[in-house]
Amino acid sequence: MAMKLTPYEQEMLDGKHGEAKQFAMRAMIKIGEPLGAEEFVEVVSVQAMAHFGSLHIAGRDYMRKLACMGGKCCVPCTQDPASIPWDTWEEMGYDREYAANQMDLCKSVMQLGEYHAWSCTPYVQGNVPRVGQNVAWAESSAVSYANSVLGARTNRTPAGLAVCAALTGRIPKFGLYFDENRKAQVKVVVDAGELSDLDYNTIGIIIGKRVGNYIPAIYGIPASTTNENLKYLGACAASSGSVALWHAVGVTPEALHGDPFEGREPVMEFTITREMLTETEKSLCTKNPGEVDLYVTGCPHSSVAEIVKLHELMKGRRVRKDKDMWIFTTAEACNMMRRSGVVGELEAAGVRMMVQTCLVISPLVGNGKYKTLITDSGKNASYLPSEHGIELIYASMEKCVEAVTEPV
């Protein structure tokens, strides 16, 4: 069945608003119709991707083509982290050709009119949709946060489709854009006592592995939980499974009042205990870790609050000469903490700020120096061993700091 178009959408398809919009509409119709979409929805923002580590040459050329067609974003559009740190890639030893390809992608992104965000946490950079608003976001952790914590509506949008949405302000209507597809399907009870920051990562890992792409309703998350905790829970559920939407009963917007199942019986139920959390933590460590070489944190990107916490833990300590510590974060958080004097003190203690980039979609540079990493991110623990062929230890921020530092 052909998709029903508004007069303006038909004009875009007919090329009356430029070649790029026409290309984008054609692409979205070719994808939307097989998915059963009967119409488009308007979107208020887009989270796209422009990291060379995932898009490669084909993605670089695709973005360049849209820019050369004269394409311009008609709604606010941010993008995922870059595959290189913009200011320090050469010093750190990134391949020159690889860096040139990432910078070529950046040039196209700027021509298209995307915001210079380069982060997986656009919701702390002004890209903040309201409850019920439709968006077209790529990046699994951002999708999870938008749907679950903000109450906006998006599917896990493929990178190429997200750019088309940015150029047209439209996306095919299917999946999580419908009310009936947003109801809870799996009941998860968290009964593990007081929860640490690491526990929220681990809860997400367990949920993702158990529910796949079902929508869980989670009981037992305290109302006092932080946005950072929810960020990591969702990111880990999305990386260990395919969870794009989850409800924390009494916490998140669509489960704040009433029954998230709306009277339907769950297709599955399980309880997460302290024993399960402990066993999962152990399972996320690889089998043969050696002495720790590097501590990486900030996946998703570290917030101001998380940088402040790390700064407190680093007081009176410094990174050992044979170790390294990298904090992955946004430009905005880094700049704020630099003005506060926090970044200067961290850098003086041997910490490297990795701004607007991500280790998951970047080469692990260091001339073979790094054999064993330690991290407090469940998403890092899910991806880094296979992405970079390294050993990994998964532990709390406190233990990670202790592993690579010494008293001053």
**Cα 284 from Cα 270, distance rounded (Å):** 21
Q: What is the mean pLDDT of the chain?
A: 97
> Does residue 1 register a pLDDT over 80?
no
Evaluate whether 243 touches 234 at the Cβ level (below 8 Å).
Answer: yes
Tokens of 264: 């339907």
What proportion of the chain, given as a percentage, has pLDDT over 90?
Answer: 99
Task: Give mean pLDDT, residues 214-233.
Answer: 97
pLDDT for res 367: 85
**pLDDT of 212 over the 80 cut:** yes
Neighbour tally for 57: CB within 10 Å = 10
Q: Is residue 302 over pLDDT 80?
A: yes
What's the confidence (pLDDT) of residue 362? 96
Q: Domains in the chain, start-ordered, CATH in brackets? A: 7-179 (3.30.499.10), 183-282 (no CATH), 285-407 (3.30.499.10)
Phi, psi of 253 (to 5 degrees): -55, -45
Contacts of 362 (CB under 8 A, 6+ apart): 51, 53, 83, 84
Q: Identify the pLDDT of residue 77.
A: 98
Whether a cis peptide bond, with omega within 30° of 0, leads into 300 is yes
pTM of the model: 0.97
pLDDT at position 35: 94
Arithmetic mean of pLDDT, 220-239: 97
When pLDDT is averaged across residues 175-194 and rounded to a whole number, the result is 98
Span 184-212, average pLDDT: 98
Summarised one tens digit per residue, pLDDT across range 27-78 is 999 999 999 999 999 999 999 999 999 999 999 999 999 999 999 999 999 9
* pLDDT for position 155: 98
380 or 258, greater pLDDT: 380
Q: What is the pLDDT of residues 109-145, one digit of tens each?
A: 999 999 999 999 999 999 999 999 999 999 999 999 9
pLDDT at 321 > cutoff 90: yes
Q: Please compute the mean of the pLDDT values over residues 386-390 and round it to a whole number.
A: 95
Could you tell me what percent of the chain has a pLDDT over 70? 100
Q: How far is CA 365 from CA 70, 84, 323, 400, in A?
A: 36, 10, 14, 20
Tens digits of per-residue pLDDT, 391-407? 999 999 999 999 999 99
Sequence-separated (6 or more) residues with CB below 8 Å from residue 263: none
Phi, psi of 328 (to 5 degrees): -95, 125
Say whether pLDDT at 279 is over 80: yes
